[in-house]
Structure 1
Amino acid sequence: MSNKFDSIRHYHDHEVNEVLQKISKHPMIKALMGFTFPDKTEEEWMEALMQVNSIQQFQSDFAYHSIQRILEKSSSGLTTSGFEKLEKDTAYLYISNHRDIIMDTSLLNVTLKDHGLIMTASAIGDNLVQKTFLLALAKVNRNFLVRRNLPPRELLESSKLMSEYIQDLLVNKNRSVWIAQREGRTKDGNDATHPGVLKMLGMAADENNLMDYFKKIKIVPVSISYEYDPTDALKMPQIIAKAKDEIYIKEKNEDFINLYSGIVGQKKGIHIHIGNILDSELDEIKNSTDKVNKQIQAVANAIDRSIIKDYYLWPTNYVAYDILHNSNRFVNKYTEKEKLLFERRLELRVNKQDKTVVDSFLAMYANPVINKLKLTNEQ
């Protein structure tokens, strides 16, 4: 039976086993399974993989353990806050700042699973899953596709389809959804919600007022922060091009390299905070204006305030702020050793002779501090 969402949807449970049979011999799967289950032989994990008949089973028995191993190897651990305010058996729309292609959603889902909450279907750019194997792995992990680089008319059609799909997941299937607050990852540490994301979400609304629909789908802002961004140096060329007003052209395998580096690179501390479900704010917005564009901008601002307010700041953020501003303002927030480690990273990753590059690298880590100060008028 064909379905109008077939071009973007994740796999259905009845498709999972066949897909896993197909990709099980892929060298990347072998490497991933060898990494995840170092104590098991290939025959053992292969046999277990062949028994999988649902996304839930794949995530519980395989993906969950892969993420735990990645955390062991590439971080000093994951801390979380705010999850206690979520209700079991309830679908939420998580709108999150976006730092890492794979880890952001994977870590959220690991934590949702640990709390017995509904895990998400997650949006992923189709540019990131060009390889057949990656596409299969994404869809078996309940990712659905956001189509990128479309001409305007197709973009409108695609946005409408995605909006309807997200509505179907949340309202009809009782499935939580994760979407980034903007297209692509934040490269400069400035987390800002793009109104276009909210406009897309609102396309499927049949309520008279968009704010009523946004209340119905239970929007939850999520702040995720990494002590070290494993792709910080990789983000530099794009930031520099933007600073110089140049068009940035991606290298052929750049997305894949970013994806891989984000997974295996050292992150040290990681924190996820779940903000309050948008509710009374939406009533206030509804009562203050009936102009849709103004409403959407006000919702974006509310999400931004939540994400910035609850963004967990690490010593690296404070060190970067002090170096960038040549100050000792936050000297009580880090140790001398933490400062030396950060300076060492800066030396290894960027050309110290190029002030633009150095300042951009520092700003990437310092901007979350600056944005929090702006929010509390403490600049």
Structure 2
Amino acid sequence: RLNKSFVVNRSASGVKAKYQALLQLSHYINQASAEGRSVWIAQREGRAKDGFDITDPAIIKMLYVWQKKQGVSFSDAMNKLNLVPVAISYEYDPCDGLKATELQARAAADYVKQDGEDVESIMRGIALPKGRVHIEIGKPLQGDFADAQTLAHALDQQIVENYRLFPPSLLAIEHMLNLGKAMQSLKDDSITRFQTIAQQARETLTAMDAQELSRQAAEFSARLAHYPAQVQRYILEMYANPLLNKYNYTSH
């Protein structure tokens, strides 16, 4: 393959066949790493539609399968792999409307994915504008990790902390406050704390984007106006959740 990609076999049926496919994938990744070749892998299967990008521990367990078979401890195996978190932040998600519409449909009734829906999402994601894009490479994860869950948390912490805050995240929260609606993921938080998050974000963004903020506020409002109110709620949550995630990690 010209781009050095590799196939993840998800079509295997039966416990033994699935295990063999998992073992083969784990072997390949571990071998590539041992040979000094980088392997880029997503932190979870599929796309996060709600703005919460959380590492699936099953991915880490897959990475360990091969070395576990060789009798290597979990912590030693992960240190040998030299895992490096990478945070990629988009100012705008080209598929925000599609994702929000799907979330709204799922909440209202059983959702049936239409033919070609995934292809459309891929094409929109490739072709449509994302605004500014920021890529930040974190520090290699080295340490004494007890299990996949512990390592997943360490990965998430770096990814969230390295996430670049763009104006749409703040604007989404301010829209919610202005509308008097509490974001679903903030339902257990007080409005005061919600306002504190928005205030801290505004102070950060004013320093970063003093001239851009008012222009982007109008642009964001126009983007929302393309969708009905019941879909707008999900778009707002989608943009606000990364900011909430960032606040939760950095405030502990």
**Given the two structures, how large is their TM-score scaled by the length of structure 1?**
0.55
Post-superposition shift, 1:241? 4.4
1:375 aligned partner, one-letter code: Y
Q: Output the TM-score relative to the length of structure 2.
A: 0.81
Q: Does 1:300 align with 2:152?
A: yes
Is 1:209 aligned to residue 73 of structure 2? Answer: yes
Q: CA deviation at 1:148?
A: 3.1
Identity %: 36
Distance 1:152 1:338, change over 3 A: farther
Q: CA distance change for structure 1 residues 152 and 371 in 2, over 3 Å: closer, same or farther? A: farther
**CA distance in 1 between partners of 2:177 and 2:141 (Å):** 35
- Offset at 1:324? 2.2
**For structure 1, which segment, 205-214 or 143-152, has the greater mean C-alpha deviation from structure 2 after superposition?**
143-152
2:176 partner amino acid: L
Residue type at the aligned position of 1:363: E
In 2, are the aligned partners of 1:219 and 1:278 still within 8 Å (CA)?
Answer: yes
In the alignment of these two chains, the number of paired residues is 223
Unaligned runs of 5+ in 1: 1-138, 287-294
Counterparts of 2:26 and 2:102, CA distance in 1: 29
Given the alignment of the two structures, is residue 375 of structure 1 paired with residue 213 of structure 2, yes or no?
A: no
Q: 1:188, 1:367 within 8 Å by CA — same for their partners in 2?
A: yes
1:244 Cα offset (Å): 4.7
Q: Which amino acid aligns with 2:130?
A: K
Task: Give the alignment of 1:1-379 within 5 angstroms.
Answer: 139-148=1-10, 150-151=12-13, 153=15, 154-172=17-35, 174-205=36-67, 206-244=70-108, 246=110, 248-279=111-142, 282-283=143-144, 285-286=145-146, 295-326=147-178, 329=199, 330-332=201-203, 333=205, 335-348=213-226, 350-352=227-229, 354=230, 357-377=231-251
* 1:213–1:258 CA distance, 2 compared to 1 (3 A): same
Higher relative contact order, chain-length normalized (CA < 8 Å, sep 6+): 2
Higher strand share: 1
Structure 2, unmatched stretches of 5+, are 179-194, 207-212
RMSD: 2.0
1:63-85, Cα deviation, whole Å (9 max, x unpaired): xxxxxxxxxxxxxxxxxxxxxxx
Distance 1:185 1:270 in 2: 17
Identify if the C-alpha distance between structure 1 residues 377 and 157 changes in structure 2 by more than 3 Å, giving closer, same or farther.
same
